[in-house]
Structure 1
């Protein structure tokens, strides 16, 4: 059975016209999966709705002063501009629920071996500031939560968003139980890229074959070396050749093969995987839907659930 985590609030955020962030993609992806896979009528796919992560838990990772200022609408305007969203209570509620969704995905992955969160991947949030549409770091929060669960002594975050997971790297730099592995464009955001445990920086215009060859060999070595008890997988689709902020040349079939590579290798090693959909940027939000759907298709393939991916 494949658990999916989703909440309607993910796309319920009012943003200025022409804002860069594709806020409607979460609802569009959910609707697409409901229509194409008939989720409501299936026994082999199940939807779960998260609870918001608590402020107290957030403050265990992030600076309490930053969280108080952020949640109380007291951050200076320059710091909100760095985040990239106008402040609203809706934004705060959405942020807590999305982080709660990644946490829930970990718990369901431990029960079922695999779970997909239809949001998540806010890896640019640092301890005392947000950046790049990221207010709090759901990946780091979820990884820390995972270490409190029975049977988990080491977590690996495999971050395949095209942008470097800088916030995750800095937040978890001193935690030997969490391995951070970032696969990203070397000439992309952010300009300053702190060291993850493992970094694979790919040149602009890297194509599907070169991406899969470089990533596949390093992933195999990383899993063999660190032997994680859980993998958190950020399956960003901004590596696609038509992404407006990506600068790589990976095709849709290449995204499916990447997702299949990660999920399949973990499945073969009996390592639970909690996956988030990560980034992807188009003015036409609907164009992102089929790309993000590849993660679900790959998961179904790994679990032996019949599906024909649209490549």
Structure 2
């Protein structure tokens, strides 16, 4: 099981803009400490090449990123102050997701310690997302002919609006989004399949819907790869989530996705996505479960 992680993933924000960035350091430490993985599981991605960026993002947006000339309005939509090191960080993370996809062809699964930046559109960033790592990876694999069809299983609590818009006219990539119906973004795009849950949805209803939808979808679409966005902001403890799932329910969700893919011989590239519980320990435990379940199913 290969895991994308680099010191570049660490990023320090001013206090007034801070959200749980420490998880990018603490999660790999936890996984190593408990013995779920060893140092040999890690690889450090290189920065994503410009040509791969331009298969997903517009030339104008990329120019603004690489010259750090986004407008005040554009920066406000992203949600934190833009700096060259943040822009460089995103290139490494996006390459990590692409590398994970290629490792997944060999090993069944590969996971990025970061990624899941699904609010990024072709021409702009939003919601703490600069580049759309999953869209970039899917486009690159389609371009090289490594795949003909992909499915995005986006189980972050917020709709993957950027991903939905990017692939809205591309039947080579099927986009599935489970999300809070009343949560961010207010204006949602149209995925190939959107499942919006009411506030306070608990484990039973969430997992029942997943069991209803996922096997049929995988059998019908027959993808060459699955991109899984495993956000843990579905937890009742999450400050931004509004759903009411438990740590155990979130763990069952991950196990079910991995089992369904493994049963069909589908490689899975995982991007970590969101998690904003009050206690950092809760965030780390929930994300760690994704890696534990991947190791349990594919290891």
Alignment of 1:40-189 (within 5 A): 40=38, 46-148=41-143, 152-189=147-184
Q: State the TM-score, normalized to the length of structure 1.
A: 0.93
Q: Is the 8 A contact 1:206 1:250 kept in 2?
A: yes
Instruction: Say which of 29, 36, 39 aligns to 2:37.
Output: 39
CA separation in 2, counterparts of 1:25 and 1:55? Answer: 28
Give the Å deviation of 1:99.
Answer: 0.3
Equivalent position of 2:228 in the other structure: 233
CA separation in 1, counterparts of 2:278 and 2:138? Answer: 32
Instruction: Say which of 6, 20, 23 aligns to 2:21.
Output: 23
CA separation in 1, counterparts of 2:134 and 2:197? Answer: 22
CA separation in 1, counterparts of 2:95 and 2:278? Answer: 27
Q: Is the 8 A contact 1:159 1:183 kept in 2?
A: yes
Q: Is the 8 A contact 1:146 1:155 kept in 2?
A: no
Q: Is the 8 A contact 1:122 1:278 kept in 2?
A: yes
Instruction: Say which of 241, 246, 266 aligns to 1:251.
Output: 246
Deviates more, 1:16-25 or 1:188-197: 16-25
Q: Is the 8 A contact 1:22 1:283 kept in 2?
A: no
Deviates more, 1:20-29 or 1:178-187: 20-29
Unaligned runs of 5+ in 1: 306-311
Equivalent position of 1:293 in the other structure: 288
Unaligned runs of 5+ in 2: none
Could you say what secondary structure the match of 1:228 adopts?
Answer: coil
- 1:10 and 2:9 equivalent? yes
Could you say what secondary structure the match of 1:147 adopts?
Answer: helix
Structure 1 residues 151, 141: closer, same or farther in 2, change over 3 A? closer
Deviates more, 1:97-106 or 1:65-74: 65-74
Equivalent position of 1:309 in the other structure: none
Q: State the TM-score, normalized to the length of structure 2.
A: 0.96
